[in-house]
């Protein structure tokens, strides 16, 4: 299958590349901010910006080229040691990185940005060096101009050996077949190279066969080029980064040895004049400017101080393949089917009464193990570290803190934690809102902080971790904590709750998630964006996640999101209740037990709790809650699943029988049936039967409000909807 | 979907006139090669006036055609290479219109 438009593909891959480059730019800047002042760190940043510029040039993205050019020029000053990485410089570098990010996005999506903003950032940035750079962007941005300006600007930092080794590079480039197949196009590379400096290009067409021997997807051309620009090897090599491994590339230096000038030219083409016996009349078409400096090679004389070919190769980056997400999803689906199929097979084998120690059973066990391994591996393909997400949040913190004049430090933890790609993408909006809230509402103003004896710089902490098969992401601040009397008062004023209610702290905290709630007495331009915490909560819930809030006066507020690792499979416990088969997610089950009559206590006319190890847990009859039957009333020796929510609150679910523990493939119900209360999804069991997958937390929430009186509220600490519902009821 | 290559018959000697599509990229290369090959037994005129994007695969097909016709000694001409847009593109590859003259292809 070939993509219909290789150009679109290479363009898309450029933008993917940009994301990676922007990420390394952020990393570099963060390291610099943290005090890393070594030249390699600065180089990493410089190269990132420079590569974006190079690629953008190849696609004629002029705005991006112009900005990147001016940005890298200032960065170059730092590289040269003429500019120090003080706080102000770093702030501007970060801001410029943000603008660069926006420009990349704008170029990708075909939108445009406010010129004035960009210009303002640039002029502040250039104010660091006290001068505006050479107006190079214009000429450079033109893709087709082979005679581009050279980058060897007067201000450029040239290391002594490079300077001695001027003026350029011999490059020989022969694409391999795979270069086309991977959607690359030599033309863009050649064009990008010509932007680095005056370039003389010779194309060897001698290998092109007649039509009947021609394979249109094979490459028969090769190029030898001489680049007359004082740039380091890296700059030349990075242009070919895209095609690493799918071409033969040789980059060697032309020395400045005058005596060797002809030798260098010779190397380009054995006889440049005879190769073109019929010179074109139009001067514009004659390949690229002759280099002004004499050119040279070490082959003739040994006087050159620089080696003809620097031996050091850039470290090979980890090999990666870009794969269409659809393909992965198809594979995830297939593996899901495999899991179901394997379950069916296991069931058939069991039904045939084959003994457990038979070769069939052993083979089946191995098969199960393999299936699981495959499944894990497939899921790993989709998983990505949350780092990119966290970096975006760093920017939100910078912008938010600037607009409300607070000093905020973002501390991140667990950036390497991997989460399903879809989850990461869909987490961006809610997390942005949470981080903004933390800066805007969570942290106090500087004066108040100082008055409270805290450092005037606030801390927002962002952490990610895997915990019992879920991903936990926390946003916390070290602010004043939730002002509960005020929250309660506002909720009363807005009519969200009846006034005069007694609410627990956690119930008050959860009021923040009510639709229509906003604490900001003045709507700042930060948080007042018409998005409330209720929207945040529902977007988290749509990912199968939950959000919890906790707060300590004077110490800060923590929002905790808990998400499933994957949206495709689930470890579940298969139970029977009222003749139906139900799957309960294993992650939510704390323990299973058989009830003794003495453990059951009645609470009010309709509800009961059970007494487990010094605590009381509300009892829910699953059959009754799901509407399969009326409550049995008598639960002595019933089987109970103890279910826990993220915040630690528990309920006891009564089921008739526990059948087995197994992995099930999640088949969504949303599309066909919408949201079914208490039910997360469905699955197909080994015998082909459809079983519903329980959403225990949703069930707990609804159970306490719908089929039972509000009486157990005093025992279960705040569950958002239950608080809401009971409040309304009260 | 391969961009269409259209063919007209020239009035005088009946040489087919192949009009190249605007995008001569990888997907366009194979259909063009097949089209050209089907006319390899006679003279041919290729009209490159419309080419807005010339990619390496398309370029190779054209160079291959030059060679094919040169080897067979039949009439071959390619028009429109002197247009600015195309000259500039050829320059990126380090080529000029002269590289598409049969005699130059030999060297």
A421 falls in which pLDDT band (50, 70, 90)?
confident
B92 and A276 within 8 Å at the Cβ level: the answer is no
Distance in Å, alpha carbon of A98 to nearest chain B alpha carbon: 33
User: What is the pLDDT at residue A306?
Assistant: 41
Arithmetic mean of pLDDT over chain A = 76
B103 and A146 within 8 Å at the Cβ level: the answer is no
User: What is the pLDDT at residue A469?
Assistant: 66
Side by side, the strands of the sheet bearing A589-594 are A589-594, A639-644, A650-655, A615-621, A607-612, A600-603
Q: Is B107 on the interface with A (CB under 8 A)?
A: yes
With CA atoms as reference, the chain B residue closest to A218 would be: B57
Report which of residues A478 and A155 the model is more confident about. Answer: A478
Instruction: Indicate the CATH number of A386-564 among 1.10.3720.10, 3.40.47.10, 3.60.9.10, 3.30.565.10.
Output: 3.30.565.10
A318 falls in which pLDDT band (50, 70, 90)?
low
CA distance A477 to A604: 41
Counting every residue written for chain B, the total comes to 107
Query: What residues 233-292 of chain A have any CB closer than 8 A to a CB of chain B?
Result: 274-280, 282, 284-288
A310 falls in which pLDDT band (50, 70, 90)?
very low
User: What is the pLDDT at residue A649?
Assistant: 75
Report which of residues A148 and A463 the model is more confident about. Answer: A463
Note the pLDDT tens digit of each residue in A665-698.
777 777 778 778 888 888 888 777 889 999 887 7
Q: Which of A249, A384, A239 is nearest to A320 (CA)?
A: A384
From chain B, the residues in CB contact with A220 under 8 A are: 60, 63-64
pLDDT of residue A496 exceeding 60, the answer is yes
Secondary structure (3-state) at A319: coil
A7 and B61 within 8 Å at the Cβ level: the answer is no
Q: What is the mean predicted confidence (pLDDT) over B5-25? A: 74
With CA atoms as reference, the chain B residue closest to A202 would be: B94
pLDDT of residue A125 exceeding 90, the answer is no
Of B25, B55, B61, the CB nearest to A214: B61
User: What is the pLDDT at residue A567?
Assistant: 65
Cβ-Cβ pairs closer than 8 A, A with B, add up to 139
Q: What is the mean predicted confidence (pLDDT) over B20-40? A: 88
User: What is the pLDDT at residue B8?
Assistant: 62
Residue ranges of E strands in A306-456: 383-385, 407-413, 418-420
Q: Is B5 on the interface with A (CB under 8 A)?
A: no
Q: What is the mean predicted confidence (pLDDT) over A371-392? A: 83
Cβ burial A250-283 (10 Å sphere, 16+ → b, else e):
ebbbbbbbeebbebbbebbbeeeeeebeeebeee
Distance in Å, alpha carbon of A206 to nearest chain B alpha carbon: 8
From chain A, the residues in CB contact with B61 under 8 A are: 211, 214, 216
- On the CB side of A345, CA atoms within 13 Å amount to 15
Q: What is the mean predicted confidence (pLDDT) over B43-68? A: 89
The CA radius of gyration of chain B, in Å to the nearest whole number, is 13
With CA atoms as reference, the chain A residue closest to B27 would be: A4
User: What is the pLDDT at residue B61?
Assistant: 92
Residue B56, φ and ψ in degrees, nearest 5: -60, -45
From chain B, the residues in CB contact with A280 under 8 A are: 96-98
B99 and A203 within 8 Å at the Cβ level: the answer is yes
Residue A502, φ and ψ in degrees, nearest 5: -90, 120
Distance in Å, alpha carbon of B13 to nearest chain A alpha carbon: 23
Instruction: Indicate the CATH number of A569-729 among 2.40.50.140, 3.50.50.60, 2.40.50.180, 1.10.1740.10.
Output: 2.40.50.180
User: What is the pLDDT at residue B12?
Assistant: 57
Encoding tokens for residue A470?
């879920």
B64 and A209 within 8 Å at the Cβ level: the answer is yes
A647 falls in which pLDDT band (50, 70, 90)?
low
User: What is the pLDDT at residue A4?
Assistant: 53
Distance in Å, alpha carbon of B20 to nearest chain A alpha carbon: 16
Note the pLDDT tens digit of each residue in A689-706.
889 999 887 788 777 533
Q: Cα–Cα–Cα angle for A579, A582, A583, nearest 5°? A: 155
Locate the domains of chain A by residue range: 1-143, 148-309, 325-384, 386-564, 569-729
Distance in Å, alpha carbon of A186 to nearest chain B alpha carbon: 7
Of A203, A223, A276, the CB nearest to B98: A276
A5 falls in which pLDDT band (50, 70, 90)?
low
Side by side, the strands of the sheet bearing A168-175 are A199-204, A222-227, A168-175, A247-254
Query: What residues 591-650 of chain A have any CB closer than 8 A to a CB of chain B?
Result: none
* CATH no., domain A1-143: 1.20.120.160
User: What is the pLDDT at residue A312?
Assistant: 41
A277 and B105 within 8 Å at the Cβ level: the answer is no
User: What is the pLDDT at residue A557?
Assistant: 92
B101 and A203 within 8 Å at the Cβ level: the answer is no
A292 falls in which pLDDT band (50, 70, 90)?
very low
Query: What residues 288-327 of chain A have any CB closer than 8 A to a CB of chain B?
Result: 288
A7 and B23 within 8 Å at the Cβ level: the answer is yes
pTM of the entire structure?
Answer: 0.47
Q: Which of B68, B87, B96 is the mutation pick for testing A, counting most A CBs within 10 A?
A: B96
Q: Is B80 on the interface with A (CB under 8 A)?
A: no
Say which CATH topology domain B6-106 has: Transcription Regulator spoIIAA (3.30.750)
B105 and A210 within 8 Å at the Cβ level: the answer is no
State percent of chain A over pLDDT 70.
78
From chain B, the residues in CB contact with A171 under 8 A are: none
Distance in Å, alpha carbon of B45 to nearest chain A alpha carbon: 16
Of A219, A282, A288, the CB nearest to B56: A219
- Name the least confident of A65-79, A638-652, B75-89: A638-652
Secondary structure (3-state) at A494: coil
Inter-CA distances, B16 with A22, B7, B33, B76, Å: 52, 6, 15, 10
Helices (H), A482-550: 484-493, 505-510, 533-542
Note the pLDDT tens digit of each residue in A158-186.
344 444 444 688 898 988 888 887 778 88
Q: Is B4 on the interface with A (CB under 8 A)?
A: no
| Cβ–Cβ < 8 Å for A575, A656 | yes
- Name the least confident of A75-79, A495-499, A597-601, A726-730: A726-730
A3 falls in which pLDDT band (50, 70, 90)?
very low
């Amino acid at each position: 299958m070939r993509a219909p438009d290789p150009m679109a593909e290479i363009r898309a891959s450029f933008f993917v590349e940009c994301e990676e480059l922007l990420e390394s730019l952020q990393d570099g800047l963060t390291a610099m901010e943290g005090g890393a002042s070594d030249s390699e760190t600065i180089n990493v940043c410089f190269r990132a910006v420079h590569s974006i510029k190079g690629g953008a040039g190849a696609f004629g993205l002029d705005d991006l080229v112009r900005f990147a050019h001016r940005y890298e020029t200032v960065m170059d000053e730092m590289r040269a040691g003429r500019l120090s990485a003080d706080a102000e410089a770093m702030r501007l570098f970060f801001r410029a990185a943000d603008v660069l990010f926006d420009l990349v996005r704008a170029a990708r999506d075909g939108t445009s940005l406010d010129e004035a903003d960009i210009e303002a950032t640039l002029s502040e940035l250039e104010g660091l060096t006290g001068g505006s750079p050479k107006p190079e962007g214009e000429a450079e941005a033109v893709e087709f101009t082979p005679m581009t300006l050279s980058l060897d600007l007067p201000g450029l930092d040239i290391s002594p050996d490079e300077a001695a080794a001027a003026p350029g590079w011999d490059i020989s480039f022969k694409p391999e077949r795979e270069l086309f197949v991977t959607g690359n196009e030599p033309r863009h590379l050649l064009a990008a190279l010509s932007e680095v400096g005056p370039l003389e290009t010779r194309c060897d067409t001698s290998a092109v066969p007649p039509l009947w021997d021609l394979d249109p997807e094979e490459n028969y051309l090769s190029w030898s080029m001489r680049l007359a620009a004082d740039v380091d090897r890296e700059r030349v090599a990075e242009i070919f980064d895209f095609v690493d491994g799918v071409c033969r590339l040789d980059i060697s230096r032309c020395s400045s040895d005058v005596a060797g000038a002809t030798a260098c030219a010779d190397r380009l083409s054995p006889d440049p004049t005879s190769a073109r016996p019929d010179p074109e009349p139009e001067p514009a078409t004659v390949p690229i400017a002759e280099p002004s400096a004499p050119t040279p090679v070490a082959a003739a004389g040994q006087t050159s101080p620089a080696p003809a070919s620097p031996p050091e190769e850039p470290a090979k980056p980890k090999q990666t393949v870009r794969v269409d997400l659809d393909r992965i999803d198809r594979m995830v689906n297939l593996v899901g089917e495999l899991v179901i199929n394997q379950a069916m097979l296991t069931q058939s084998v069991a039904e045939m009464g084959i003994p457990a120690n038979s070769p069939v059973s052993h083979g089946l066990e191995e098969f199960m193990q393999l299936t699981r391994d495959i499944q894990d591996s497939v899921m790993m393909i989709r998983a990505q570290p949350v780092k990119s997400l966290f970096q975006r949040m760093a920017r939100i913190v910078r912008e938010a803190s600037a607009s409300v004049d607070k000093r905020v430090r973002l501390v991140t933890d667990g950036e390497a934690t991997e989460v399903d790609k879809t989850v990461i993408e869909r987490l961006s909006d809610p997390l942005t809102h949470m981080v903004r809230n933390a800066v805007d509402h969570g942290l106090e103003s500087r004066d108040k902080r100082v008055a409270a004896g805290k450092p005037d710089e606030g801390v927002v902490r962002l952490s990610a971790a895997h915990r019992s098969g879920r991903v936990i992401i926390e946003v916390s601040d070290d602010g004043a904590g939730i002002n509960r009397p005020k929250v309660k008062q506002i909720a009363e004023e807005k009519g969200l709750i009846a006034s005069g209610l007694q609410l627990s702290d956690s119930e008050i905290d959860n009021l923040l998630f009510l639709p229509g709630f906003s604490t900001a007495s003045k709507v700042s331009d930060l948080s007042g964006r018409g998005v409330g915490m209720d929207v945040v909560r529902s977007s988290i819930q749509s990912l199968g996640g939950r959000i919890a809030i906790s707060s300590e006066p004077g110490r800060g507020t923590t929002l905790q999101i808990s998400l499933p690792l994957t949206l495709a499979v689930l470890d579940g416990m298969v139970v029977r209740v009222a003749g139906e088969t139900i799957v309960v997610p294993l992650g939510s089950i704390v323990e299973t037990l058989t009830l003794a009559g003495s453990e059951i206590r009645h609470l009010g006319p309709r509800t009961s709790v059970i007494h487990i190890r010094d605590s009381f847990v509300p009892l829910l009859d699953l059959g009754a809650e799901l509407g399969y039957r009326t409550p049995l009333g008598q639960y002595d020796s019933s089987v109970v699943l103890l279910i826990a929510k993220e915040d630690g609150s528990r309920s006891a679910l009564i089921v008739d029988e526990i059948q087995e523990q197994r992995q099930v493939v999640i088949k969504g119900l949303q599309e066909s049936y919408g949201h079914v209360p208490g039910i997360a999804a469905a699955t197909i069991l080994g015998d082909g039967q459809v079983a519903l997958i329980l959403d225990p937390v949703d069930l707990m929430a609804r159970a306490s409000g719908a089929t039972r009186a509000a009486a157990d509220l005093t025992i279960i600490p705040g569950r958002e909807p239950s608080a809401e519902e009971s409040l309304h009821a009260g | 979907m391969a961009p269409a290559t259209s063919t007209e018959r020239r009035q005088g000697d009946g040489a087919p006139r192949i009009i190249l599509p605007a995008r001569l990229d990888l997907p366009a290369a194979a259909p063009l090669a097949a089209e050209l090959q089907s006319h390899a037994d006679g003279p041919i005129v290729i009209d490159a006036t419309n080419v807005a994007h010339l990619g390496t695969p398309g370029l190779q097909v054209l160079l291959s055609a030059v060679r094919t016709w040169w080897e067979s000694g039949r009439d071959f001409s390619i028009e429109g290479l002197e247009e600015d847009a195309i000259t500039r593109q050829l320059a990126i590859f380090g080529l000029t219109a002269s590289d598409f003259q049969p005699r130059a292809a030999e060297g």
